[in-house]
Amino acid sequence: MNPIQHIINIQSFSRGEINRILDRAAQLEPITHSGVSDILAGKILVTLFCEPSTRTRLSFDVAMKRLGGDVIDFGPTEESAVAKGENLADTISVMGGYADAIVLRHPKEGAARMASEFSSVPVINAGDGAGQHPTQTLLDLYTIRKESKLNNVKIAIVGDLKYGRTVYSLTHALSMYNAEIYLVSPDQLRMPDSLKRDLTDKGAKITETRDLDDVIGVVDVLYITRIQKERFPDLGEYQAVAGSYKITEETLKDAKDNLIIMHPLPRVGEIDPGVDKSRHAVYFKQSFYGVPVRMAILSMVMG
């Protein structure tokens, strides 16, 4: 019997495995335009979100339905037995008896790993606190491969590099593709040294700066993130860095013609809406690519 295939972090994938998921997503993408298939007919997915979500929750829901499967959303935890004090381990043990896979978002780093230890079905990490968001990373890689180039890409990662979980997963993955990574943040939100060491140990080429103008003319991809207000221990610390970066048409005057701008969304002021119609903006396509990539992931863990 095969071991259960949980998806907890991006480091558990080799470059070859990532490429196979991206290839599978490309095969499945036409289904997103043409109805449904029966690849996961009879299978049931539970989505359990203990933090707010629009894209991840709904794109998993759509992906499952496009593959012919069914979805039960756990709903607000305050309307479940969690409100009576049931712990995550027991909740997961029970859900494993009802469904064929569980998608979990939780405010605590490490929650998905812990859940996987109690689950009889695959657990997919949909974001664990300031930890990881591996399925976001896979759709980010799919977007970069499709809209720019993945091997040897030059990428600026801008904004909250301390609390942003998409950044942790993405930089790990990019280090497998010989990327040149420019980390752009205020001093207070720099990537922790331990993570930078991890990346350089893997051969990643990293440059740090506070000033986006230093790198805007060099990069193929500009990946900007929201400053994660909810993870700051103190509101004053957040206010000191809020609004540090805002992409406008002026910011892009020295950009390469084929620069793409990505954002995991939601945005809260990091990109001026005037940029949305520019040839550089791919962030809404990026959120759409969440559907074929999550179809590939679901078909892999349950197919």
β partners of residue 2: none
Is 132 among the residues that bind ligand CP (CB under 6 A)?
no
In order of 45, 69, 192, 275, the CA distances from 41 in angstroms are: 11, 5, 44, 41
Nearer to ligand CP, 32 or 137 (CB): 137
Which 26-45 positions form the footprint of ligand CP (CB under 6 A)? none
Q: Tokens 């300031």 identify what position?
A: 130
Report the amino acid identity of residue 208. E
Residue 73: beta bridge partners?
A: 47
Which C-beta is closer to ligand CP: that of 54 or that of 248?
54
Is the backbone of residue 98 left (phi > 0), alpha (psi -120 to 50) or beta?
A: alpha
Q: Is 54 in the site for ligand CP (CB under 6 A)?
A: yes
Residue closer to ligand CP by CB (options 7, 216) is: 7
User: Shortest gap between Cβ of 51 and ligand CP (angstroms)?
Assistant: 8
Eight-class DSSP state of 237 = H
The one segment of 69-77, 189-197, 264-272, 276-284 that binds ligand CP by CB under 6 A: 264-272
Task: Yes or no: say if 109 and 128 are a contact pair by the CB < 8 Å rule.
Answer: yes
Min CB(174)–ligand CP separation in Å: 17
CB contact at 8 A, 51 and 125: no
Residue 286 C-beta: closest distance to ligand CP, Å: 9
Please identify, using beta-carbon distances, which residue of 143 and 175 lies nearer to ligand CP. 143
What strands, in cross-sheet order, belong to the sheet with 260-262? 205-209, 180-184, 154-158, 221-224, 260-262
Interface pick for ligand CP out of 6, 24, 43, 55 (rule CB under 6 A): 55
Contacting residue, 264, 270, 282, 291, with ligand CP by CB under 6 A: 264
Whole-angstrom CA distances from 243 to 27, 200, 263, 268, 296 are 39, 29, 15, 9, 36
Binding ligand CP (rule: CB under 6 A), the pick from 53, 77, 93, 188 is 53
Toward ligand CP, which CB reaches closer, 158 or 216? 158
- CA nearest neighbour of 103 among 51, 36, 28: 51
Question: Taking CB under 6 A as the rule, does residue 271 contact ligand CP?
Answer: no
Which of the residues 74 through 113 are near ligand CP (CB under 6 A)?
none
CB of 250 to ligand CP, least distance (A): 26
Nearer to ligand CP, 56 or 116 (CB): 56
How many chain residues are in contact with ligand CP, going by CB under 6 A?
A: 9
- Of the ranges 60-68, 142-150, 168-176, 259-267, which one interacts with ligand CP (CB under 6 A)? 259-267
Rounded Cα gap, residues 49 and 106, in angstroms: 7
Question: If binding is defined by CB under 6 A, does position 120 make contact with ligand CP?
Answer: no
Considering only residues 32, 56, 132, 171, which one is a binding residue for ligand CP as defined by CB under 6 A? 56
Q: Does 265 bind ligand CP (CB under 6 A)?
A: yes
Which residues of the shown chain bind ligand CP in the complex (CB under 6 A)? Answer: 53-56, 127, 136, 264-266
